[in-house]
Amino acid sequence: MSAYLAEYLSGEMAGMKFRTMGPLSILKHRPWPPSPAVAPRLDVNQCFEEENTPYYHSAHFYPTRIGEILNNRYQVVTKIGYGTSSTIWLARDLNQWRCFHDKYVAVKISTTEHHSRQNAAQNELDILRHIARANPHHKGWHFNRHLLDTFTLNHDSRIHLALVSEPLREPLWMYQRRFVGDVIPSGILKVTVQMILEALDYLHSECHIIHTDLKPDNVMVKVEDPSILDESAKDEYQHPLPQKLCPDGHITYLSRNNYGPPQKTAGIITITDFDLAVYGDKPNNGCIQAEIYRAPEVILDAGFSYSADIWSLGVMLWDLLEGRKLFKDVDPVQVQEYSESGHLSHITALLGPAPDALLSNGRRTGRFYTTDGHLKYPTAPPTSFNFEGLLNNIRSEDKTLFIQFIRRMLKWHPEDRSTAKELLQDPWLSADFDDF
């Protein structure tokens, strides 16, 4: 801790600052003063963080400042993430009693516009409240994100919804980089998958919620030691990351969210980001899911249900076990443009021709298929594009059981996919083999 901050927190200055406040306030944690460190400046002609997201407009984002106190309670200490429709900040909870260590929370501040849905922030708030109360005794309750508090912020006649929750360590895609070759070993992955399935079973069977956007970004690993949050906050205070001071006065901060290798056993997961979630006890259709995790019924617009999340999980396992995307050849990150026809061609190579019953239900089937059920614009995936040829990091019986497991999730017919509850009983999850 800097000498300046230590001096501020001394009893003498505390008496000066809190003389006029309520008697209990002196027992709570106090705000840190502005940092005396000067942050390096980023090039104003370059885009950083949320500025690189689609549909970005600075007027839609709340102009959060480090050191700011939100809702008379949460002091922002560093930025920890961003997206197309929000920024996420680590904050000190000033309601914490001084006899306890600093308590840190994550504050997700939504934009006033969402690229794909109106009232997405309010939808997430409603979903989180429902998740919290549906059945707290279910195992999966613990593996879904929970709301600690909520409030609104006003700026330029715009209202921003803020959601407060437990800070998390990192998304699964970052967690897997902690392992050799950026691959989660099979034995560890099985435990991770069981937690995800428990979470999905809770969402599907107890809450009747379809996540609709399951991917490694939205499955987070919990913090294994709260001290790393304190270290990160104080490091930003003493050695702030570079900042971009925009001409309109807006500051773009860099995220401080890489906490390095875990200090002790880690790996407890939490499913996050419910702004696009929907209720599954009514008919649903339209476009959901990130492109390469998109289920075939979604591409064809044949309606979707809980099994769409199961498809996404099956595809996601390749990211974690193989360190590469299953449908990498249609991944816009690698090929610049996502191809729906190419995606369907790859699914066909993996699963065989699409069934007539699914095609007949698709509102968009005519874009991709002829009247006799053949792809109009087929592409030719590699001959090795099959379950056996795509798996390199597991072998022998472990590989055989994994393929059987994955086949229960990746099926053309949504109703043929196993449920999360059924998948929890799969032999692969309990089989014990040496990792290669």
The pLDDT value given to residue 19: 41
Q: What is the DSSP string of 198-243?
A: HHHHIIIIII-EE-S--SGGGEEEEPS-THHHHHHHHHHHHSPPPE
The pLDDT tens digits of the residues spanning 30-40 come to: 999 999 999 99
pLDDT above 70: percentage of residues in the chain: 93
Q: How far apart are CA 221 and CA 320, in angstroms?
A: 13
The pLDDT value given to residue 63: 96
Residue 100, SS3?
coil
- Output the average pLDDT for the chain: 91
User: What average pLDDT does the segment 228-255 reach?
Assistant: 96
Distances (CA, A) of 155 to 62, 86, 110: 7, 15, 12
The pLDDT value given to residue 17: 42
The pLDDT value given to residue 55: 87
> What is the band of 117 on the pLDDT scale with cuts at 50, 70, 90?
low
Q: Read off the tokens for 377.
A: 């614009």
Judge contact between 107 and 70, C-beta under 8 A.
yes
The pLDDT value given to residue 382: 87
Closest CA to 263 of 174, 169, 144: 169
The pLDDT tens digits of the residues spanning 129-165 come to: 999 999 999 999 999 999 999 999 999 999 999 999 9
Q: How far apart are CA 356 and CA 369, in angstroms?
A: 11
User: What average pLDDT does the segment 236-248 reach?
Assistant: 96
Judge contact between 181 and 323, C-beta under 8 A.
yes
Q: How far apart are CA 300 and CA 376, in angstroms?
A: 14
Q: How far apart are CA 45 and CA 246, in angstroms?
A: 9
Q: How far apart are CA 288 and CA 277, in angstroms?
A: 9
417 pLDDT more than 80? yes
Domain 170-222+262-436: give its CATH architecture: Orthogonal Bundle (1.10)
The pLDDT value given to residue 25: 73
Choice between 118 and 166, residue whose per-residue pLDDT is larger: 166
428 pLDDT more than 90? yes
User: What average pLDDT does the segment 215-219 reach?
Assistant: 96
282 pLDDT more than 70? yes
Q: Where are the domains of the chain?
A: 170-222+262-436
> Has 108 been labeled as part of a binding site?
yes
Judge contact between 405 and 425, C-beta under 8 A.
no
Q: How far apart are CA 29 and CA 20, in angstroms?
A: 16
Burial class of 6 by CB neighbour count within 10 A (0 to 12, 13 to 18, 19+):
exposed
Q: How far apart are CA 112 and CA 60, in angstroms?
A: 5
How many Cα atoms are found within 13 Å in the side-chain-facing hemisphere of 79?
Answer: 22
Q: How far apart are CA 366 and CA 427, in angstroms?
A: 40
Q: Read off the tokens for 253.
A: 């901060």
The pLDDT value given to residue 3: 52
pTM: 0.91
User: What average pLDDT does the segment 195-214 reach?
Assistant: 98
The pLDDT value given to residue 27: 84
Residue 157, SS3?
coil
92 pLDDT more than 80? yes
Q: Read off the tokens for 56.
A: 């970005």
Please name the residue that has the structure tokens 């912020």: 153
The pLDDT tens digits of the residues spanning 7-30 come to: 444 443 444 344 444 566 788 889
User: What average pLDDT does the segment 370-384 reach?
Assistant: 92
Q: How far apart are CA 418 and CA 29, in angstroms?
A: 50
Type of residue found at 297: E
How far from chain centre, in Å, is Cα 427?
Answer: 28
Residues 6+ apart with CB under 8 A from 341: 368, 375, 376, 377, 378, 379
Q: How far apart are CA 69 and CA 72, in angstroms?
A: 6
Q: What is the DSSP string of 247-262?
A: TTS-EEEPP-----S-
Q: Exposure pattern of 293-321 as b/e (b: 16+ CB <10 Å)?
A: bbbbbbbbbbbbbbbbbbbbbbbbbbbbb
User: What average pLDDT does the segment 88-101 reach?
Assistant: 93
DSSP label at 168? E
User: What average pLDDT does the segment 384-388 reach?
Assistant: 92
H or E segment to which residue 219 belongs: strand 219-222
